[in-house]
Structure 1
Amino acid sequence: MAGPLWPRGRRGSTDEALIRAVYEEHGAALLGYATRLTGDRAVAEDVVQETLIRAWRHSEVLVNGKGSVRGWLLTVARNIITDRYRARAARPAEVSGTPATVPVEVDHADSVVDAMAVLGALDRLSPEHRSVLTELYYRERSVAETADSLGIPEGTVKSRSHYALKALREAFKEDVSRQSRPDRPAGLREVVA
């Protein structure tokens, strides 16, 4: 600590001199103790600073001759660390807002409805169209890999995928219009919208 971090003029210069003397005599021991308890030098320095501020506010404890000054300072530091620990434990853990953080998915019902809608629409496709989409999107194969797997030309894979996706869109539109009727429960309408 380079200099005093308390306001001048509130107490006399004798209190400042007293705190300076306390820091010179007990500062290193206090910092070592706080560092051992916290495991973090920066946090320990904050604890020492807060301890000295409390000592300055209660300077009568330092000069009354009752008990050990170092013992009082170490107790104050321990109490500050305990209070910080309890405050941190009482608060829920903070969550970083990074893009890499995956949001917690509590209810998987939406993914089940989506899967059912896609599977229902895939069932309406011809086997040729369905097999092309399965290879391209579910097995994540390239056009060339899909062509090799199915034994058809790459141009045919592209053509079938185009028409299969078009047919899927039509199937979803039919489902939406069917679900939009008042006699049907809502469900797919929200998925497609």
Structure 2
Amino acid sequence: MTATRDARLQALHDENAAPLLRYVTWLTHDFSLAQDIVQETMLRAWKNPKILDADGDSARAWLFTVARNLVIDERRSARSRHEFQPEQLPELPSDDDIGRHLDKWLLSDALRSLSVEHRNAVISAYYLGHSAAETARRDGIPEGTARSRVFYALRALRLALQERGVTE
């Protein structure tokens, strides 16, 4: 008996699903919502054995009526009234530079906490792009000392950033 019932439901679906989907899409202007409503309509047809036994026109009229009522129920629901569609959001994300400015502020604050030699070493190596040899010539120090200052300056900078809440 369930095999014939399933076959009748399959026939009902095959005959009416496409026109029903077009109708509900026309009503809602939302294809994914229309798919959900058609699925719910077919589920209700499956639960109602009288519809599976009805003739083609009666079953079709019942399906379209149920789908229309589901659309109305969806529009009346609290979810529909209180949820915003993406194009209706009151505040859409914008491309602002706040994060970049806050990062600059945080980094400059951490750099100010370093000693003058360490701060100059970091600025020379990472902001100005100087090599250790160029930094050594400019500051009048051995090249090994310039490299050592960059190494220890980076450790101190990492610690200063961690103290300000920046984690690795």
Name the TM-score, length of structure 1 as normaliser. Answer: 0.42
Greater helix share, structure number: 2
Name the TM-score, length of structure 2 as normaliser. Answer: 0.46
